Structure 1
């Protein structure tokens, strides 16, 4: 339940500003409180006055028919309002270039702030350098700063702050599905401070963006290195949908293990056979002997205050830069909600839609060891010190692994994995020097990710302190 902040109570002036609206949402969302606080600052400007570009620099896009392709030569990566929150853009859907070129202004540019403007309003992402060439949907509003008037990183920090988000979210309209339009936030008050402070905040955000770009590059490099080191460079660019479809095949020597056709799909079986043909392999079950290879235990969630609980991360949010999980009591949950360093979590329940997270993987290390994770993941923890989790993850994050895991599915509507088939999955082992190099590439990528979070938080803290001091 939201309560009024007694140090900043609702006043009759607030009621008058809202035409004496008496439902609590405008007053408890924080939007009016933030706006009134900013009005006390000596220098604010409107958002529209510091942006430039298409539609004045604040825009989303029209509704349009989407044509998806799987050939990178004829398609561009495509962001939705949830996709923009992801930390790894490897699995973005691909939009036809024919469609994209008719809407050139929907290409995101470094320094833009992306704002979700349909559904859940006010989620933010900063466009980092490696996102050039990615298009976005009409559900993503773009705020393009004018570099002659404001620093991009400073503007992003304000928009995602506890002052910017409530004011943006309070502009939403609609019944079931909420929306905002560019003109709803054009007059948003943006506080201005001395140039040195704004540049310091901007530099921190830019460094964070560079590190996140390095995180993405590091993971891609590690996966490519993995397949080259085990003599399988053809699996780097799999082109799954361009391979012959799994139609009209026959299988001999069936056992009681499984009778499901999907488990014998030729495209996936071919990849498994190629993995097993390497001169040094071990099954996933053998590698995890003494470690962990199972899904989590089901449990009842007991909500807790953040000061006395842990953040519970589910399948969807596990792939975001910053998960927005629910806080629960760790003492009232199984021990396996917390993970050991370099545990791989594979999304274990879902459907076979191309854009579903089912069968995708994350690595739990660094700051993410503080999070708790739901039962909807297979916990993969190596029990062999010569095969570290970081090395395994270079394979698990690949499309080849994604397609293999999906071929191991059992179930009806909701899929999960056949435990025996998963344990029998062959993992090619590169020579020790290569394994160490691949693992260190992955570890550095995750150190970059954690450092990026710290720098972004520092930028936000500087801005918040400046606003509080100026309004005191």
Structure 2
């Protein structure tokens, strides 16, 4: 049982809160630790131009970018791929307080609280949900990159979430974090942290740009043109289809159309250009505090894949089959279908669930194979294989049939090289951001008596 002796002035600072859980949470305990700071303390409101949330608005979704603004939810902001295909109408949307700019800090204020990101050039022109608090640094006493690293640290997150309210769904509001304590670290230390965050942000932009260019090269080489779906499907086609599928949505999907287009060109099946395509079996999960990090499909899609779940090394059977290797291509195969990740050195050696398929290139360049599988072409084909009603699924035997176009060797080599640069930039970006956060946490830990 946790106990703590509360001082009278703490009630005034907390807004006269009487619930014991508030005073025993990470935020108030961090405030106590910050009293040992050898540096001056300021408030978040003093170190920012503005702290605000977006307007609540009726979302009118549209299909095309020229008629809408790209739209981001609080869960989308954590993903490595920001563009989720959602657009809200330019005609029916008031963009006031919804559009964000680079070098801002966004933090989730509803549901899962305190998830924080630092915006880069990719965020420009996005409309962002009102469920995110916008923090605009003023860069006077506190560098914006340092402020982000501090707020993302375990100490900053505790402070951000300490004033949560609500029963089933927790919330925080901008005015709750205005008085959040900020230690004014020495400028040289701040510059070091700020540079690491700036480098990380720029590397992420470069990685996104390289991936986009590789997909464009692939599209130009493939020369795919959308055709008209016919209204009928022959019995011969149905009988020759994988598992003799009968549902109309399979034959009339764009994924099936792309599938047929690629098959009519020079191509190879994925089973012929990869090692075994597999996913681990179902197993009993023994979670421990110190073990091997364990990812589900949602975690591997994050810009920084992290999970609080750790598997026991001693008690987990077939642990090696759960581990992921560098240059493997991971494909989500349950619930959300076809999201693809190239394993870099940061992910290598960690473990992933049975809802993630593993692919390793053989006889074809890894980068080119990933470029195709992560493109809209590969995604739509994989999604066309989906079966099941409540929870969509695909299996290894579906993925084995994925047709991979074979372009001119020089084109495939160029795409491969770009993807390898993409992988390196992603790894460096993650390493630099985590280094910055760890430096801030270690410095604060040294103050404790």
TM-score normalised to structure 1 length = 0.86
TM-fit CA distance, 1:87: 0.9
TM-fit CA distance, 1:259: 2.2
Aligned counterparts, 1:23-62, within 5 A: 23=20, 25-41=21-37, 42-52=39-49, 57-62=50-55
Deviations 1:226-249 (A, max 9, x none): 233xx32447xx8xxxx76x6843
Distance change (3 Å), C-alpha of 1:259 and 1:421: farther
Pairing partner for 1:359 from 338, 350, 358: 338
Deviations 1:317-345 (A, max 9, x none): 21012234211124514332112322112
Contact 1:303/1:328 (CA < 8 Å) preserved in 2? yes
TM-fit CA distance, 1:70: 2.1
Pairing partner for 1:225 from 213, 217, 221: 217
Q: Who is 1:200 aligned against?
A: 192
TM-fit CA distance, 1:203: 1.3
Q: Cα RMSD (Å) of the superposition? A: 2.4
1:274 aligns with 2:261: yes
Distance change (3 Å), C-alpha of 1:14 and 1:234: farther
Deviations 1:11-32 (A, max 9, x none): 3438964669463x22442211
Distance in 1 of aligned mates of 2:425 and 2:366 = 18
Distance change (3 Å), C-alpha of 1:192 and 1:226: same
1:249 aligns with 2:232: yes
Which stretches in structure 1 are left out of the alignment for 5+ residues?
A: 351-356
Contact 1:344/1:362 (CA < 8 Å) preserved in 2? yes
TM-score normalised to structure 2 length = 0.90
Of residues 113-122 and 328-337 in structure 1, the stretch that sits farther from structure 2 once superposed is 328-337
Pairing partner for 2:286 from 302, 311, 315: 302
Distance in 1 of aligned mates of 2:129 and 2:58 = 11
1:318 aligns with 2:310: no
How many residues end up aligned between the 2 structures? Answer: 438
Pairing partner for 1:463 from 440, 446, 449: 440
Q: Who is 1:89 aligned against?
A: 82
1:286 aligns with 2:272: yes
SS in 2 for 1:190: strand
Aligned counterparts, 1:59-138, within 5 A: 59-100=52-93, 102-138=94-130
SS in 2 for 1:125: strand
Distance in 2 of aligned mates of 1:374 and 1:14 = 49
TM-fit CA distance, 1:464: 2.8
Q: Who is 1:162 aligned against?
A: 154
1:406 aligns with 2:383: yes
Contact 1:249/1:266 (CA < 8 Å) preserved in 2? no
Deviations 1:156-180 (A, max 9, x none): 1111112211111111100000111
1:381 aligns with 2:367: no
1:191 aligns with 2:183: yes
Contact 1:342/1:388 (CA < 8 Å) preserved in 2? no
1:444 aligns with 2:447: no
